[in-house]
A and B are shown apart, each in its own frame.
Chain A
């Protein structure tokens, strides 16, 4: 920590002294680099952190610059008033460009944003108010009493301060709740949604941030060059910007800045050979994508890892701790079922995955859902948790109609789930996975980042403390800082349950929690699930491991070919001929079925 502060101080002093060593052309280059750095940070937040493909960043830049130019020269307003309005205009534009992200993703989003960026260039080249192809010149010098900003040396300090603030703000977001949620959405939007992250709001937030940074960069550009023309905001510059972010490392804001600096310097060095420079950075983009997807920012960790490997396994391997049971509570006496599925049918292009399935689960119950592979169990979970809207039928959760509600709404209403194939956020640590689930604040409250940053920090510290408690309870403390993919399968399963429970649900859906676990792990799992139920949470579990189901569940529902073929106490179900026929094949006649194992209930 002390080391870091010292390094930061050295960088700050160096940045402050930098102009003393530079001629007037060099300081101009530095000023442009700072503007590109701000743009790159914005793009990094949107694409790298939020996972939203945004090829309109250069248009945001343009809107900011043009709005400043138009408001100062045509409307005759002061620079700073115009600047504020320009950023506001960019934000409006950002939200408009981001709207398609609610419907489409990936390459679709790429083409839509690229199209809208082209639409912008098309507008400014034609619109009279934007000065057409000639652009707008004679933008007034921004004024600060006592400082002559027409000097590029002094302008540098203005930019430096704004850059430092915006970078710090970006890092602040990335390292706290909002950024964590955005990264979770980037890694797995589906899992993030089922943990209560409002995916649509987060996508818009990504574009909002990108546009704010674009707008600020645009204002600074207008004030620096005092002339705007369409070609500064061309698609070629968009791709340059993209290259900066990719080469620098899109998931790290500092990497984005590094990319901007390096690429712009290279371009400046090769200013007499612009096409050669372009071939160079284009090729580097291709190479980075294929060989080092994390970019420049990914190099230090890689080197560190390689060094550690060479030194050999010095550190102690993390160990899984004991699960500490929840405190049991008296079951709340409610006669109303917590979940009712009423005549659910789910058809996929002619295939009836679910056919008239009804199910009612009482509070405090552990319900098992079993059935052969492909009998529709997971589809039923997906309908209940809002991932699918059923073709027919209704779902009621805690007394309210919940049919087809967005997963994040159901999550906020108290439903939590795990996934058959584990959907942990791969680029987040174990602790961050838990933190995402713990955080129950609505994303719109993120205005606090601007208004009350201290309260954000305080809240984050509180989240970390609670995450520590969850990790302790599940014996995962030693894995807190590790990426989940590096862990053994059984531990990943436990992390997923811990994450689902961190969301403090009333109903927990477990999809094949024992798959891939060994005998001892299965025993621990059954202990965990029972303790979860004792803490007042209703549990529905899909499972193939019949031993676990039989010993754990109070009631069992059996699905086959999308229909409920039996429901009842484990002992009843196990003797039901239809179940034996469907599930085990009829050679397993009921009399050679083993008696129920004597596991303590």
Chain B
């Protein structure tokens, strides 16, 4: 039992990261009906930027994160602007377009930071907490807290602000949104910016948990995407549940199957998608494609 709970705890912090990545996917999908396959690469860029500002520029961790988020948000803007002609036209082409951006970003990362990775020391130095005989790393708690705050802020933004409501309206009906005066392109650009910002947040936070390397975002991106689909694509609670589920699944498969954990995770994911393509919370968005 002890091992069981320890495994869950081990999966939760990575799960929170997956959830953040999934949120970015879901937000962009919810607002503009696009799956951004470059999202994972944006995570990598975010991770490198945050670690560079933190380690090399010696900025405080929080400041380094903020700078990283701003820079990646700008990258998000560029991607949206270039692909804008395809919006509301060809879904598959746009998907391939984002893959193209992913290829470019991947190469840029290697060009700027090299092919080798780097370890990022944890910004929180306190010893692990012990609770009912379970060990909990303090940094894990920090990650959970930040992820929770980010989620709450996002929910508030979408439900309480004019811009947030407008962004959702665009996804539901872009023509009616235009008719009430919403600038669809600008709304999409903001969605992409926030999505990229969330990716950078995830990347920056994951630095101290994993080794930062060029392949980091690939794995995180795919698992985050899997999390988003598992929860129900476009759903915010779905992204959280899906992220945590994949994190915990990861943790268990790592315990039981060691090196084969990825294999098992993806097989389980495939089976779940076949049984319930709409995920846990999804229903209506699935037919949009």
Contacts and interface: CB of A to CB of B under 8 A. Distances in A.
Report A-B touching, CB under 8 Å: yes
Contacts of A111: 222, 225-226, 229
Interface of A: 51, 53, 99-100, 103-108, 110-112, 114-116, 118-120, 122-123, 125-126, 235-236, 239, 242-243, 246, 275-276, 278-279, 281-286, 289-290, 293, 349
Interface stretch (B125-133, B198-206, B261-269): B261-269
The secondary structure that dominates the B interface is: helix
A122 B101 CA distance: 25
A279 B111 contact: yes
A285 B274 contact: no
Nearest to B106: A278
A236 B40 CA distance: 13
Interface string B97-115: 1011111111110110000
Contact of A239 (B102, B259, B260): B102
B226 A115 contact: yes
B266 A115 contact: yes
B165 interface: no
Contact of A106 (B108, B263, B289): B289
Nearest to A288: B100
Most chain B beta-carbon contacts within 10 A, residue among A115, A246, A276, A285: A115
Most chain A beta-carbon contacts within 10 A, residue among B96, B222, B225, B262: B96
B262 A278 contact: no
B90 interface: yes
A322 to B, nearest CB: 38
Contacts of B106: 236, 278, 282
A349 B287 CA distance: 14
B104 A283 contact: yes
Nearest to A115: B266
Contact of A285 (B85, B100, B218, B267): B100
A284 B267 CA distance: 33
B93 A115 contact: no
A278 B107 contact: yes
Given A246-B96, A290-B82, A104 B263 contact: no
Nearest to B219: A118
Contacts of B270: 100, 112, 115-116
Given A106-B92, A116-B267, A239-B102, 20 more contacts: A51-B92, A100-B273, A108-B229, A110-B95, A112-B270, A114-B222, A119-B267, A120-B263, A122-B266, A239-B103, A275-B111, A276-B107, A278-B110, A279-B108, A281-B103, A289-B83, A289-B100, A290-B83, A290-B85, A293-B93
Interface residues on B, range: 35 or more
B35 to A, nearest CB: 4
A282 B104 contact: yes
B273 A108 contact: yes
Contact of A243 (B85, B100, B218): B100
B263 A123 contact: yes
Given A118-B262, A119-B263, A285-B97, A103 B277 contact: yes
A4 B262 CA distance: 50
B141 interface: no
25 contacts: A103-B273, A103-B277, A104-B274, A104-B277, A107-B91, A110-B37, A111-B222, A112-B269, A118-B219, A119-B263, A119-B266, A119-B267, A122-B260, A122-B261, A125-B259, A276-B107, A279-B107, A282-B103, A282-B107, A283-B100, A284-B100, A286-B82, A286-B104, A289-B93, A290-B85
A282 B83 CA distance: 14
Contact of B35 (A110, A115, A116, A285): A110
A110 B226 CA distance: 11
A119 B265 CA distance: 8
Nearest to A125: B259
Nearest to A97: B270
A122 B259 contact: yes
Nearest to A107: B35
Contacts of B225: 111
A104 B273 contact: yes
A293 B289 CA distance: 19
A104 B272 CA distance: 12
Nearest to B103: A282
B86 interface: yes
Given A105-B289, A290-B83, A293-B90, A275 B95 contact: no
A123 B110 CA distance: 26
A283 B99 CA distance: 10
Contacts of A283: 100, 104
A126 B259 CA distance: 6
B86 A119 contact: no
A115 B225 CA distance: 10
Contacts of A99: 274
